[in-house]
Structure 1
Amino acid sequence: MACALEGRAPHAWRLPVHHRTVIAPETILAFARLSFYAAAVLLFGVQCFVAILAPITLGERLASLAGGRLSAASLVAVLSCVLSLPTTAAMIGGGWDRALDGQTLKALFLGTSAGHALLLRAGLALVVMILFLACAGSPRLKTAGSALLLASLSLSGHARMDAGGREAIHVANHVVHLLSGGFWLGSLAILPACLARLRDPAQGAEAKLALQRFSSCGHAAVALVILTGIVNAALILGGWPAVRTPYQWLLLVKVVLVATMAGVAVLNRYRFVPQMRSGLDEAIRNICRGTYAELALGAAVLALVAVLGMIEPG
C-alpha cells in the first residue's frame, strides 16, 4: 500500500511561519484527520462484516455487540469534520484569529473545491451519524452510507491535483484503494468477536462461514490495497520514490508497515487457521494476537496518512 488510505488535507499551500504560543492549527488538523480516518474505517469495515459476510443471525448478534462502538465512531466522524472546518480556515489565514473569520470561511468553503469537499464530507458524516444513533435503516443501508463517507476522502487530496482523464483515473483508483483498505483494517475490529463464537455449538457453523468469507474477501482486499497503492504512488510521484524528501521517507515507512501487516495476515491464515483442527482454543488465541498486531500496525498507518496528507509530495 504505497499510498495507503491517502487523503491529503484540503490544501497544500505553503503556510507563513508564525509565532506559536498555542497548539498550531496544523497539529489540530492532523488530529482531526486521524480521527476521521479511524472512524470511517471502523464504520465501513465492521458494517461490511456484519451486513455482508456474516449470516443473518450472527450478523445481528455482532451488530448488537458493536452497536455502541459504531455509534461512537459516527459521532467522532462528525466532530472531526466540525473541527476541521475552522482549523483549515486558521491554516489558510495564518493563525487562530482567522478560524472563525467570516471572509476567510467564505473564501474557503464557497470559493474552493477543497472547501466544497469539506462541507460535503461533513454532511455525509451527519447522515451516517443519524443512521447509527437512531438505529435507522437496514444494515446494508448503513454499509452504503459508511462506504460513501470513506470514499468522500477522494474528493480532495493528491488525486485532485491532476486534470482531465488522468484525474478521473486517479480518483477512481483512490476510491478502490480507500474501500479495500477500509474493509481490511475495519473488519479486523470485529474478527475476535466472531472467532469467539466458534466455541459455541449454536453459533459455530455461522461463525465458520463468516470467517471463510472473510478469508476470501480479505485476499482480494489486500491485493487491491497493494496494487492501487502502487498506482497512487506512480501517479503522485511520477515513478518509484527516490526517498530524498520527508514525504518520500514517510511513504517508505508506510510501505514497510503495510507489508508487515500483510505478513501477519498471511501468518494468521496459513499457519494458525489450520491449527484449528488440532487445537481450537490455542489457534483462536494465536489468531487474535495476530489480529491485534495488524490493528496496531494499521493505526500507525492511519497516523502516517494524517501527516502525509499535509506535506507536499515530491
Structure 2
Amino acid sequence: MTLDAVVAGNRLLHYLALMLVFGSSVFLWKIAAPGLRVQTDRRLTLITRVAALLALLTALAGLPLQASEIVGSWQAAVDPAVLQKLLRTAIGQTWLFRMLPALLLLALSMLRQPGRLRGVVIGSGVLLASLALSGHAAMDQGMRGFLHGANHAVHLLCGGAWLGSLLPVLLCLRLLADPVARGDASLTLRRFSNAGHVAVAGVLLSGAINTMLVLGRWPTDWSSPYQLLLSLKILLTAAMVGLAILNRYVFVPRMKSAAPAAIASIRRSTLIEICLGMAILALVSVFGMLEPA
C-alpha cells in the first residue's frame, strides 16, 4: 500500500468518525423527541464511543503520516528530529490544538449521563470545524483567510449534521412499527425533516463559496485531477439532495395512506444517502491532498 493511500485512508476514517459522532449527537440533543432520546442514545452508545476513539487515533496518526508525506519516507513517522521540526510549524501547531478536543471528546463519550450530549456536540463540533485549519482554506491570509476558514468550517459542520444524523434516522424508522414509540418517532422524523433543510442549504451554499474561493470558477477542466474529483463530489452531493427531496416531498406524505411501503422507500433511500456520503468523504480525502488547479 502506498503512502498516499494510507494518508487518504486515515483522513477518510477521521472524517467518518467525527461526522458520525457530531451528527448523531446533534440529532439526539436537539431533534429527537424527549421520549425517544434515552432509548436511541442507548442503541448508539457503543457506536459513538468507538467512533470517538477512532477520531482520536486517526488524529494522533495525522502528524506522523504528514511527516512521512513531506519527507517521502515511512521512517519519518518515527523520527523524533523530523517530528520536532514539524511541531514547530503551523501544521504541528494545528495538530497540537486538535489533540485537546479529541481527548475531551473521547472522555465525554465514555460518560453515561444524558447531559453529556451537549459536551459531545461541542467537542466533536470543535474538532470537526478545526479541520478547516489544515485544508485548502489555510492557504489564504488575512481577512480572506479568516472568511475562507469560517466558510469551510460551516461546510464541515453542516455536512456532519446531515450525514451523521442518517444512522439515528434509520433507528427511528424502525420504531415506527412500535405502537408505543410511533408517536415520538414520527415527531422526531418531522423535526429532522425541517432541520435537514437548513443543513442541506448550508452544505450547498458553503460548498459553492469554497469552490469560488479555491478555484475562482466552477471545476470544468477535467484534465485536472483536483477538478475532476471535485466535480464528482458535486455530482454525488446533488444525488444526495435529490434523495432527501424525494424522501421529504414524495415518501413522507405517502406515510398517511401507504405507511409500510413509504417507510421501506425512505429506509432504502436513506441507506443510499449514507453510501453516497461515504463516497463523497472518500473523494474529499483524496482531492484534499492535491494541489487545487
Scaled by the length of structure 1, the TM-score of the pair is 0.90
Aligned equivalents of 1:58 and 1:237: distance in 2?
Answer: 45
Alignment of 1:73-152 (within 5 A): 73-110=51-88, 112-135=89-112, 138-152=116-130
Displacement of 1:310 after TM fit? 0.6
The match for 1:46 is: 24
Displacement of 1:83 after TM fit? 2.0
Query: Quick check: 1:181 aligned with 2:159?
Result: yes
Q: Residues 144-199 of structure 1, C-alpha deviation per residue, up to 9 Å, x if partnerless?
A: 11111211111111111111111111011111111111111110111111112222
Query: Quick check: 1:63 aligned with 2:32?
Result: no
Name the one with the larger helix percent: 2
Structure 2: any 5+ residue segments left out of the alignment?
Answer: none
The match for 2:237 is: 258
Displacement of 1:134 after TM fit? 3.6
The match for 1:14 is: none
Displacement of 1:280 after TM fit? 1.5
The size of the alignment, in residue pairs, is: 291
Aligned 8 A contact 1:25 1:88 in 2? no
Aligned equivalents of 1:47 and 1:225: distance in 2?
Answer: 19
Corresponding residue to 2:263 among 266, 284, 298? 284
- What is the DSSP-based 3-state SS (H/G/I as helix, E as strand, rest coil) of the residue aligned with 1:277? coil
Aligned equivalents of 2:174 and 2:87: distance in 1?
Answer: 47
The match for 2:140 is: 162
Displacement of 1:236 after TM fit? 0.3
Aligned equivalents of 1:198 and 1:76: distance in 2?
Answer: 31
Structure 2 residue identity aligned to 1:119: L
Runs of 4+ in 1 over 3 A off after TM superposition: 134-137
Aligned 8 A contact 2:109 2:116 in 1? no
Structure 1: any 5+ residue segments left out of the alignment?
Answer: 1-22
Aligned 8 A contact 1:180 1:221 in 2? yes
The match for 1:5 is: none
Structure 2 residue identity aligned to 1:286: S
Aligned equivalents of 1:172 and 1:85: distance in 2?
Answer: 23
Q: Residues 85-109 of structure 1, C-alpha deviation per residue, up to 9 Å, x if partnerless?
A: 2111111222012111122101111
The match for 2:186 is: 208
Aligned equivalents of 1:33 and 1:54: distance in 2?
Answer: 30
Aligned equivalents of 1:166 and 1:251: distance in 2?
Answer: 22
Structure 2 residue identity aligned to 1:118: W
Aligned equivalents of 2:268 and 2:187: distance in 1?
Answer: 21
Aligned-pair identity in percent equals: 44
Scaled by the length of structure 2, the TM-score of the pair is 0.96
Q: Residues 5-55 of structure 1, C-alpha deviation per residue, up to 9 Å, x if partnerless?
A: xxxxxxxxxxxxxxxxxx332221111100000000000110011111012
Displacement of 1:271 after TM fit? 1.1
